[in-house]
Amino acid sequence: MEEGKKVMLVILALLRVTMAWSVVQPQVPCFFIFGDSLVDNGNNNNILTLARANYRPYGIDFPRAAPGRFTNGHTMVDILAQLLGFRDLIPPHAAAHGAEVLRGLNFASGAAGLREETGNNLGQHYPFYEQVEHFRNTVQLMRRIFRGNTTRLSDHLSKCIYFVGMGSNDYLNNYFMPDMYTTSYQYSPRTYAILLLQDYSRQLTDMYDLGARKVAISGIGQIGCIPYELARNNNRSNNKKTKGTVCNDKINKAINMFNTGLVQMVNRFNSELPDVKFIYINTYESSKDIVANAPSYGFSVIDKGCCGVGRNNGQITCLPLQTPCEDRSSYLFWDAFHPTEAANIVYANKAYNSTSQSDVSPMNIQQLAMA
C-alpha cells in the first residue's frame, strides 16, 4: 500500500473516532453554512427535487442512516466543524429545533445558485437569497432566546464562523446548459461573472447587517475537470490535457473570471466594512494541487466517480442501491460531481490550517476563529 494511502486511512480513522468522542471546547460558539450540494446535509430531503441524496449508496460510510449528504461520508463542512471543536455535526436548517440554533445551522441546498432560476431544471431547492432569508428568521429566533438582549446576540453572532460556497450551479445548471437557460446567449462569460458577483455582494452585505463578521468564502473548483464534464466533453479543440484527462478549458476559464472577481470582493469587504474579517478559500488551486500530487494525498483515481453510470461514471449521479467502488479512499470523486469523504478531508484541512496563500488568504479558518 502506498505511504500516502496509509496516511489517509489513519486520518479517516482518527476523524471518525474524534467525531464520536471529542469533548474539545469549540473554538467558536457557532458555525453557519450556506451553499449547494457540496455541503448540503439534508435540507433537500423532503422537497420535490432530483437534487437529493437521502438514499444508498450516498452516506454508505456515514455512521448513521443515509443522511442526505452528496458523498459517501462526511462533507467538507462536517470535517471543518470537527476541526473547530464541535462535538456534534451542525444540523440542517430543515430539521433544527429550539435552542440548538445557537451553535449554528446548515442552510445549504443541492442545486442552489446565486441566481434564482439556477437549478430549476432539477426541481425545488433553496437559492442563496432564500438561504439568507432562513438565516434572517434564525436570527429573529435567537433574539427571542436571548430575551431581546441585542448586545448579547450581536456579540454571539460576531464570534461565529460563516462558511459560504456558491456559484458552481450557476455554471453547471445554468450558463453551460444552453438548451434550458438563455444566459449564455445573453451574456459573455465576463459579464455573467460580474452579474453573479453583484448578487453575491448584495446577499453577503445582508448577512453582515444581520451580524456576520467572520466569513469564509469558498471559490469554485475546477468544474471543467469533474467526471460529468469529462464524460460529456467530446470537442477536444477547446480542451486542455490534464494528467491524462481532458478538461473543459472553456468552463475553467469562465470559472477563473468569477473567482478573480470573488477575491477582489473579499478584499473590498475587508477594507470597507467595519469589524469584519473575510477570507477566501481557493478551491480551484487546491484541486489543481491535489490532482497534480494525487499519490501523495492517497488518490489513485482522479478522473472518474466511485459510483455512477457511463463514461468516467460521470453521466449521472449514483443510482439507488447501486454498488460503489470498494476502495473509496483512493478516489477523488464520489460521483459525477461531488468529492469523496477522503477528498473532503483534504479540502477541509487545507482551508483550516494551510499556511499557503494559494490555498486560503489572507488567513486560514483556524486563524479566523481566533481573530
* Positions marked catalytic: 37, 335, 338
Q: Which grid cell is 55? A: 438514499
Dmax over Cα atoms in the chain, in whole Å?
Answer: 63
Angle between helices 189-210 and 249-272 (to 10 degrees): 40
Other CB atoms closer than 10 Å to residue 136's CB: what's the count? 13
| CA atoms of 280 and 44, how far apart (whole Å) | 27
Q: Which grid cell is 235? A: 470537442
Q: Which grid cell is 255? A: 470559472
| CA distances in angstroms from 172 to 166, 214, 269, listed in the order given | 12, 29, 27
| CA atoms of 333 and 305, how far apart (whole Å) | 5
Three-class SS state of 34: strand
Contact at 8 Å (CB) between 231 and 304? no
User: Which residues neighbour 39 within 8 Å (Cβ) at sequence distance 6 or greater?
Assistant: 33, 75, 76, 77, 106, 108, 163, 165
User: Which residues neighbour 284 within 8 Å (Cβ) at sequence distance 6 or greater?
Assistant: 219, 220, 221, 222, 255, 256, 259
